[in-house]
Amino acid sequence: MQEGRKIIQTNRKAFHDFAISEKYTAGIVLTGTEIKSIRAGGLNLKDSFARIEKGEVILYNCHISPYEHGNIFNHEAERPRKLLLTKREILKITGKIKQENYSILPLEVFLYRGFAKVEIGLGKGKKLHDKREDLKKRDIQRHIENY
């Protein structure tokens, strides 16, 4: 764990269903009640994904629970949220997606110096036999560590 980095939520399903090849750290555009809800732990990345639209990376299906103490200014739970990446990173990701058929997946959300950040990864879907191989490797590794 890096200095000043507090992990809020990890997307374990993404690591199970996809083979992650590259990772990027992106900022996320939030409203006032969203960041309060994230700090309180009201975040779920289960079925979320990202797309590139008009040169911007947009995060979909990321559920941020409405803030308990919010009033009429409370946010919508599953609205699309813009991710902040450099233009060079966006162009690199776009090339990978078009050429090699990758998906953009949020891997974890963390707080870094008070700002919410999202670690996104480029992944290809795993087949059933790939998942079985990973389970075998994990079991063997656990067996080795126990002895």
* pLDDT for position 146: 85
Q: What angle do CA 12, 99, 97 make, to 5 degrees?
A: 35
pLDDT level of residue 70 (50, 70, 90 thresholds):
low
Per-residue CA distances from 32 to 12, 39, 55, 81 (Å): 27, 11, 25, 13
Q: Which domains does the chain have, with CATH numbers?
A: 5-146 (2.40.280.10)
The pTM (predicted TM-score) of the whole model is 0.79
pLDDT at 85: 94
